[in-house]
Amino acid sequence: MKIALDAMGGDNAPVETIKGAMMALEEIEGLELVLVGKKEIIEEELSKYSINKDKIEIVDAREIVLMTDEPVSAIKTKKDSSMNRTLELVKEGKVDASVSAGNTGALIAASQLRLKRIKGVLRPAIATMFPNKKGNMLMLDVGATADCKPDFLNQYAMMGSKYVELLMGKKNPTVGLLNIGTEEGKGNEITREAYELLKNNKRINFRGSIESTDMLNGDTDVVVTDGFTGNMVLKTSEGIAKFMLSSIKEEIGKSFIYKIGALLLKPALKNIVRKMDSSEYGGAIFLGLNGLSIKAHGNSDSTAIKNAIKVANRFAEMKFIDELKNIIDIQDKEIKL
Amino acid sequence: MKIALDAMGGDNAPVETIKGAMMALEEIEGLELVLVGKKEIIEEELSKYSINKDKIEIVDAREIVLMTDEPVSAIKTKKDSSMNRTLELVKEGKVDASVSAGNTGALIAASQLRLKRIKGVLRPAIATMFPNKKGNMLMLDVGATADCKPDFLNQYAMMGSKYVELLMGKKNPTVGLLNIGTEEGKGNEITREAYELLKNNKRINFRGSIESTDMLNGDTDVVVTDGFTGNMVLKTSEGIAKFMLSSIKEEIGKSFIYKIGALLLKPALKNIVRKMDSSEYGGAIFLGLNGLSIKAHGNSDSTAIKNAIKVANRFAEMKFIDELKNIIDIQDKEIKL
């Protein structure tokens, strides 16, 4: 497999991106990497490593989409950005998948613009892993499409189920509709209509609505929602986790005894932080596009980059895009019947 | 002030509701309470206290809306429920406000049915306090109306601002629109249109969109959102807080050293739990109805009930309903101009 990495994307690029790339090359057999960005900078970083460079190719790109850039205009004006060039390699079939930790909004816009939707896909979705009591689950859409129609959610359920089946090896994964109540008829217009579609969709293992208080109990493998709500839930989770951790820190600072307690508990607390940290999960993927574009978290360190490359590699090995095309084809035929 | 308490409502009724009532009577000067529920049960509970019973009245109600009842049908069939009778006392002007810790859905339905909307109010909202880094803030709507129009949100902003001004004594409170991005034009259809209305509303101190990652930083006093999103954010917060606390517990169980650390940290961790616990905030209020109906958390203990009664008392003292009518009147006149 050959994977393109946006070497300049993310808060810790290029040091951590290149380091992550080196880790991936050591870990994944048969992997080849294309590092995209300013040639001289990449070469300088690479010179730090004694690794065999046969499996590394560099594609020069003179511009960088900054984390602070306005997404759409950055994509339009910075044609020679590392992000753009990375996606072009996917589009032209020169690589099997791509990874970027760069500006999320820009990557959403660029991925849609460069890779285009699979024929029959109503809207692409961003799918991401989320921790729960039994391990983790997939949530989608978490931000590609803010105004969703019920039909979109029905497709997300099918694409998400295929993801969990192939990537996590779980047969017949359970699907839940994210909602504010579990009884039929609960929710807003979108969820009420989506509920009907999901209930009647024989191609998924639908288990009804699920509330966000309970979604972490581990009984749902695929949590389906519109991009506005999904993004809101993701950001709320991040906000609450940060708030709790900072509250704990504040409390600890209040007494010497607490400080000793915290010292003893430090490794345990660190595990919690890691559990809540999205960078552990190897990023998010744009589902429904004609090509594999993986988004690593903006503040990814080398491990997170390596994990994202591993995920990209697995998706490519599974021929995930072909699998999705297959689902959409079958759905099209069913609709015509 | 005279306040009606649904003595049978909530997970811990009647023991904790009556205890909370006694605490409120001791703490709030001039308070009179009407306890609504099965007379003999209330009398038995009251016999435990040596408090002067001059300020207590009992209204008999033979039925109870259970926490597990289907809301709308419970309200229709259980006419003689303590919840229903409590709200009737408000409607008939026999009390200044009411408090119930009973079935949330039923209380939403019953409050709307019995108290009706203030003339000019498009939709009622449920407003609740939420902890943040500088103390707390108000969030609305958190579940009264799932399908909101932008106009509703504009009214919520005005009603919420009045709440914070009167109840928290904060002049010109800041208003934020809950959204998935802070730039103008971000969000879904509702938030984009609501943004325009809020921006042009000279009667509020609008500060733009706010993301749920940042809403806890303490710069926003009133967070405005539709009932679906607000309820989702509330439930996500609850879910994440619970998940983190149970993860911490699980981690602590893994080593003896951790257990000692946890023992030393116990009071600090308890403070966090309290901070995240909505029952500390004296409940939620239905804004926009012709009467004061306060919702205490379902698992309220006596302190939470006392706090809810205090909040109800303060709302009544402030003549909050008249203040809201005033706002809506002024808005009506402005629209006509």
Among all residues of chain A, which has the CA nearest to that of B226?
A188
Chain A: give the shortest CA distance to residue B127, in Å: 16
Angle between helices A227-252 and B256-276 (to 10 degrees): 120
Among all residues of chain B, which has the CA nearest to that of A251?
B268
pLDDT at position B14, please?
96
pLDDT at position B334, please?
73
B258–A232 C-beta distance less than 8 A: no
According to CATH, the topology of domain B127-248 is Isopropylmalate Dehydrogenase (3.40.718)
CATH number at A122-280: 3.40.718.10
pLDDT at position B283, please?
76
Token pair belonging to A213: 């208080």
The CA distance from A110 to A79, in Å, is: 10
* B308 in Cβ contact with B299 (< 8 Å): no
Contact partners, residue B332, CB within 8 Å, separation at least 6 = B120
pLDDT at position A209, please?
96
pLDDT higher than 70, residue B337? no
- AA identity, residue B227: G
Identify any residues that bridge with B222 across adjacent strands, giving them in sequence order: B138, B175
Token pair belonging to A108: 């959403």
Mean pLDDT of the residues in chain B:
91
Q: Which of the four pLDDT bands, split at 50, 70 and 90, describes residue A55? A: very high
Mean pLDDT of the residues in chain A:
91
Selecting from A229, A246, A257 the residue whose C-beta is nearest the C-beta of B264 gives A257
Token pair belonging to A125: 């979705």
* A312 in Cβ contact with A286 (< 8 Å): no
Percentage of chain B surpassing pLDDT 90?
A: 67
Q: Among A220, A230, A226, A224, which residue's Cα sits nearest to residue A173?
A: A220
User: B20-60 pLDDT, tens per residue?
Assistant: 999 999 999 999 999 999 999 999 999 999 888 899 999 99
The CA distance from A302 to A313, in Å, is: 16
CATH number at B1-121+288-337: 3.40.718.10
A146–B188 C-beta distance less than 8 A: yes
The CA distance from A149 to A159, in Å, is: 16
pLDDT higher than 90, residue B332? no
pLDDT at position A277, please?
66
Judge residue B40's burial from the number of C-beta atoms within 10 Å of its C-beta, 0-12 exposed, 13-18 middle, 19 or more buried. exposed
Q: Which of B133, B180, B224, B234 should be substituted to probe chain A, the one whose Cβ sees the most A Cβ atoms within 10 Å?
A: B180
Within 10 Å of residue A242's Cβ, how many Cβ atoms? 16
Strand ranges, E, within A141-248: 174-179, 205-211, 222-224
Angle between helices A256-276 and A227-252 (to 10 degrees): 160
Token pair belonging to B171: 């002049």
B133–A246 C-beta distance less than 8 A: yes
A243–B133 C-beta distance less than 8 A: yes
* A311 in Cβ contact with A319 (< 8 Å): no
To 5 degrees, how large is the angle CA B295–CA B296–CA B297?
Answer: 120
Indicate the pTM of the whole model. 0.89
Q: Provide the 3-class DSSP secondary structure of residue A60.
A: strand
Domain segments of chain B as ranges: 1-121+288-337, 127-248
Token pair belonging to A153: 């959610």
pLDDT higher than 80, residue A24? yes
A254–B265 C-beta distance less than 8 A: no
pLDDT at position A328, please?
86
User: A222-269 pLDDT, tens per residue?
Assistant: 999 999 999 999 989 888 888 888 888 888 888 888 899 888 888 888
User: A59-101 pLDDT, tens per residue?
Assistant: 999 999 998 888 889 999 999 999 999 999 999 999 999 999 9
Q: Which of A192, A211, A265 should be substituted to probe chain B, the one whose Cβ sees the most B Cβ atoms within 10 Å?
A: A265
The CA distance from A213 to B76, in Å, is: 28
Chain A: give the shortest CA distance to residue B330, in Å: 31
A268–B228 C-beta distance less than 8 A: no
Selecting from A70, A133, A188 the residue whose C-beta is nearest the C-beta of B228 gives A188
Q: Which of the four pLDDT bands, split at 50, 70 and 90, describes residue B328? A: confident
Q: How far is CA A63 from the centre of its chain?
A: 24
Chain B: give the shortest CA distance to residue A31, in Å: 36
B235–A248 C-beta distance less than 8 A: no
Judge residue A75's burial from the number of C-beta atoms within 10 Å of its C-beta, 0-12 exposed, 13-18 middle, 19 or more buried. buried
* Secondary structure string (H, E, C) spanning A68-113: CCCHHHHHHHCCCEHHHHHHHHHHCCCCCEEEECCCHHHHHHHHHH
Q: Which of the four pLDDT bands, split at 50, 70 and 90, describes residue B71? A: confident
pLDDT higher than 90, residue B291? yes
The CA distance from B237 to B243, in Å, is: 10
pLDDT higher than 90, residue B336? no
Judge residue B245's burial from the number of C-beta atoms within 10 Å of its C-beta, 0-12 exposed, 13-18 middle, 19 or more buried. middle
The CA distance from B46 to B40, in Å, is: 10
How far apart, in Å, are the Cα atoms of B294 and each of A225, A249, B62, B311?
31, 34, 22, 8
Selecting from B214, B229, B241 the residue whose C-beta is nearest the C-beta of A229 gives B229
b/e per residue B266-284 (b: at least 16 CB within 10 A)? eebbeebeebbebbbbbbb
Q: How many Cβ contacts (< 8 angstroms) between chains A and B?
A: 165
* A126 in Cβ contact with A294 (< 8 Å): no
User: B101-137 pLDDT, tens per residue?
Assistant: 999 889 989 999 999 999 999 999 999 988 888 888 9
Contacts of residue A133 in chain B, CB cutoff 8 Å? 243, 246
A229–B228 C-beta distance less than 8 A: yes
Selecting from B146, B188, B213 the residue whose C-beta is nearest the C-beta of A228 gives B188
> Considering just the CA atoms, what is the radius of gyration of chain A in Å?
21
User: A98-130 pLDDT, tens per residue?
Assistant: 999 999 889 989 999 999 999 999 999 999 988
Q: Which of A244, A258, A277 should be substituted to probe chain B, the one whose Cβ sees the most B Cβ atoms within 10 Å?
A: A244
Contacts of residue B145 in chain A, CB cutoff 8 Å? none
Do B1-121+288-337 and B127-248 fold alike per CATH? yes
Contacts of residue B258 in chain A, CB cutoff 8 Å? 264-265, 267-268
> Considering just the CA atoms, what is the radius of gyration of chain B in Å?
21
* B123 in Cβ contact with B288 (< 8 Å): yes
The CA distance from A235 to A233, in Å, is: 5
